Structure 1
Amino acid sequence: MEEKQVRGAHKLVVNNRKTSLVTGVLDVLSFDLNEILLETEQGMLMVKGSDLHVNRLSLEKGEVDLSGTIDSVAYSEVHPAAKTGENILSRLFR
């Protein structure tokens, strides 16, 4: 039975710190051997390590397979003013 992808759904699976499957990926912003930065449904995801590679990328499905030595995984929340509907004046005069 195939899982249905729900908008906002995101999954991160790390196997033995060597491989990783990430779902809910919107975009790959940057990658090199030491760092991969992904935009996911749940915010920005930074994967740090060594000898990192993007083995499979499917933005249609929102999936990325990674390999290498994974040292850390960190999320950051990004809320640009344009996306939240606020402008600079409304934030200044609260």
Structure 2
Amino acid sequence: MRILNRKTLEITGVKEVDSFDSEEFLLQTSMGYLVIRGENLQMKNLNVDDGEVSIKGRVFEMTYLDENHGEKAKGLFSKLFK
């Protein structure tokens, strides 16, 4: 993963983009789910075959949700799919 000037993210190891909007992206990666939060977020490039995603916008937070954080992931998913 590369962060360029807090405005562009280049992420590798992405298996699937589960959801996204201008404030939040939810990505399934080889290391678990990755949540990216910010403002004016836009998908700049997507290549799921190579596992690469580029996102531009102002990034405030990046959080991994894995098996060790099951409760947090469950809460996030229940909010997403209400």
Task: Give the fraction of aligned pairs with identical amino acids, expressed as a percent.
Answer: 37
TM-score by length of 2: 0.80
1:47 counterpart SS class: strand
**Structure with the higher fraction of residues in helix conformation:** 2
5+ residue gaps, structure 2: 69-82
Distance 2:24 2:67 in 1: 19
The RMSD of aligned alpha carbons is: 1.1
Structure 1's unaligned 5+ residue stretches are 1-11, 80-94
1:71 aligned residue: 60
The structure with the largest alpha-carbon Rg is 1
Q: Which structure dedicates a bigger proportion of its chain to strand?
A: 2
- Superposition TM-score, scaled by structure 1 size: 0.70
Q: Deviations over 1:42-83 (max 9, x none)?
A: 00000000000011100110000100000000001048xxxx
Q: Is the 8 A contact 1:36 1:48 kept in 2?
A: yes
